[in-house]
């Protein structure tokens, strides 16, 4: 089989997979999450198997503990988050008024060029109209989502289908991997298995480590912002940590949001600086302590590459694209590294050495 034929075959397979994700991305989310849960928990099931438990019993035990932990965390986190989110929504008009008062001195600098009365009135009218439109739009969107069945169907799918998918994937993991192994071309079996091992190492190391990093940062930010006295510090801190699953994104968004809230809450620049310093310290701890301990040096997925892959996945396939972006990024990274190694070992790269 020629290289051109092999390339056509694999590109066709990739294209069919992309088409499948594109056509069914609205219903794939619980299945993708279930497979991810099975992938993360499978090593624990294997450990229990080695202790003498059957595969089914080990799967049920690990999955039950995982579900209880998730619901326990939700019961602890959701009530304060909901309370602070409701308070923040109620305080938005006051924050907009404070923002206008704080920006008033800067508006005075254009007084010579624009009629101030007309400018002030225009700003007030624009703010009131935009706020009214924003609240009307938000309430209509929320009402349509709640009144329609799509949100309910999505929630029920995550609630019931995801654990079922995780259970069957964990129980049948050995047979699934054996079936995949049988599909690998025999003449390249060892090389492909080596590449799959590299991909698995990068995905497992990043996801398991990044989840722990995000949880650690969320607790750190929430505790530090609350101690500093920032209103809605728990909400901002936990969401910043959660979004830190996407490298750089969570901390940057949390920093900007916290600084703006601190500036609106108090005109004291020292307080604003303290809030900003919390995120600086958090980033230093993440880069020098948390990530090296939890991720190690063997993950090899650059934050910018992960950020690009998540944005590209979201643009192409929505939520499902974001979910599969990290495995795809790890796969592409390993394949590019392999291609570079083959190129450096080829006559195209070593042509100059032959002449010497």
**pLDDT tens digits, 178-213:** 888 888 877 778 888 888 888 888 787 777 777 788
Torsion over CA: 30, 35, 40, 46 (sign): positive
Res 86: pLDDT = 78
Residues 6+ apart with CB under 8 A from 87: 231, 232
Res 112: pLDDT = 47
Tell me, yes or no, whether 115 and 204 share the same domain: no
In the chain, pLDDT over 70 holds for what percent of residues? 78
Tell me, yes or no, whether 64 and 164 share the same domain: yes
Res 261: pLDDT = 86
Task: For 228-287, write each residue's pLDDT tens digit.
Answer: 888 888 888 888 888 877 767 777 888 888 888 888 887 788 888 998 999 888 888 877
| In-domain check, residue 110 | yes
Q: Determine the average pLDDT of the residues in 304-325.
A: 80
Tell me, yes or no, whether 265 and 336 share the same domain: yes
Tell me the two tokens of residue 314.
């979201």
| In-domain check, residue 353 | no
Asked if the model's pLDDT at residue 320 lies above 70, the reply is yes
d(CA 31, CA 167): 11
Tell me, yes or no, whether 106 and 194 share the same domain: no
Tell me, yes or no, whether 315 and 340 share the same domain: yes
Tell me, yes or no, whether 103 and 117 share the same domain: yes
Tell me the two tokens of residue 58.
């080990």
| Higher pLDDT among residues 143 and 61, named by residue | 61
Tell me, yes or no, whether 169 and 193 share the same domain: no
State which of 130-134, 256-260, 303-307, 315-319 shows the largest mean pLDDT.
Answer: 256-260
Last residue of a domain, which of 164, 183, 202? 183
Is the separation of the CB atoms in 306 and 247 below 8 Å? yes
| Higher pLDDT among residues 351 and 76, named by residue | 76
d(CA 321, CA 331): 15
- The answer to which of 22-26, 80-84, 114-118, 279-283 has the lowest mean pLDDT is 114-118
Mean of per-residue pLDDT scores for the chain: 77
Last residue of a domain, which of 127, 150, 183? 183
| In-domain check, residue 47 | yes
| In-domain check, residue 231 | yes
Res 92: pLDDT = 75
Asked if the model's pLDDT at residue 85 lies above 50, the reply is yes
Q: Determine the average pLDDT of the residues in 5-33.
A: 82
Its domain, for residue 166, covers: 28-183
d(CA 309, CA 202): 15
Q: Determine the average pLDDT of the residues in 94-121.
A: 62
Tell me, yes or no, whether 208 and 179 share the same domain: no
| In-domain check, residue 78 | yes
Long-range Cβ contact pairs of 306-310 (< 8 A, separation 24 or more): 306/206, 306/246, 306/247, 307/246, 307/247, 307/248, 307/249, 310/246
Task: For 1-16, write each residue's pLDDT tens digit.
Answer: 566 777 777 788 888 8
Residues 6+ apart with CB under 8 A from 224: 233, 237, 278, 281, 282
114 torsion bin: left (phi>0), alpha (psi -120 to 50), beta (else): beta
Res 241: pLDDT = 84
Res 310: pLDDT = 80
Tell me, yes or no, whether 195 and 278 share the same domain: yes
Res 298: pLDDT = 47
Q: Where are the alpha helices (DSSP H) in 229-346?
A: 233-243, 249-265, 269-285, 291-294, 303-344
Last residue of a domain, which of 149, 183, 217? 183
In the chain, pLDDT over 90 holds for what percent of residues? 5
Number of domains the chain contains: 2
Q: Determine the average pLDDT of the residues in 70-92.
A: 78
């Amino acid at each position: 089989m020629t290289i051109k034929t092999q390339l056509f075959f694999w590109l066709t397979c990739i294209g069919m997979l992309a088409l499948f994700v594109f056509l069914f991305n609205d219903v794939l989310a619980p299945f993708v999450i279930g497979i991810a849960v099975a992938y993360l928990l499978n090593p624990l099931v294997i450990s229990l198997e080695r202790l003498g438990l059957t595969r089914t019993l080990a799967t049920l035990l690990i999955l039950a503990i995982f579900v209880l932990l998730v619901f326990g965390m939700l019961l602890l986190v959701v009530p304060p988050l909901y309370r602070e989110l409701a308070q923040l929504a109620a305080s938005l008009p006051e924050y907009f008024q404070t923002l206008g008062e704080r920006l008033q001195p800067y508006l005075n600098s254009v007084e010579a060029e624009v009629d101030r009365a007309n400018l002030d009135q225009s700003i007030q009218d624009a703010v009131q109209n935009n706020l009214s439109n924003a609240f009307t739009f938000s309430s209509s969107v929320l009402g349509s989502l709640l009144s329609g069945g799509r949100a309910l169907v999505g929630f029920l799918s995550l609630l019931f289908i995801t654990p079922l998918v995780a259970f069957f994937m964990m129980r049948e993991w050995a047979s699934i991997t054996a079936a995949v192994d049988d599909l690998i071309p025999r003449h390249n079996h060892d090389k492909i298995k080596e590449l799959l091992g590299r991909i698995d190492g990068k995905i497992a190391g990043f996801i398991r480590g990044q989840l722990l990093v995000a949880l650690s940062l969320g607790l750190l930010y929430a505790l530090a912002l609350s101690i500093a006295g920032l209103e809605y510090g728990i909400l901002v801190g936990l969401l910043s940590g959660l979004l830190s699953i996407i490298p750089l994104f969570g901390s940057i968004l949390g920093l900007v949001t916290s600084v703006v809230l601190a500036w609106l809450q108090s005109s004291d620049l020292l307080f604003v600086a303290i809030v900003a310093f919390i995120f600086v310290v958090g980033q230093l701890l993440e880069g020098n302590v948390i990530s090296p301990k939890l991720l190690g040096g063997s993950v090899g997925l650059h934050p910018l590459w992960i950020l690009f892959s998540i944005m590209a996945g979201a643009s192409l396939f929505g939520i499902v694209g974001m979910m599969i972006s990290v495995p795809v990024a790890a796969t592409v990274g390993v394949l590019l590294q392999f291609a570079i190694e083959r190129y450096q070992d080829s006559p195209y790269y070593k042509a100059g050495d032959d002449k010497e």
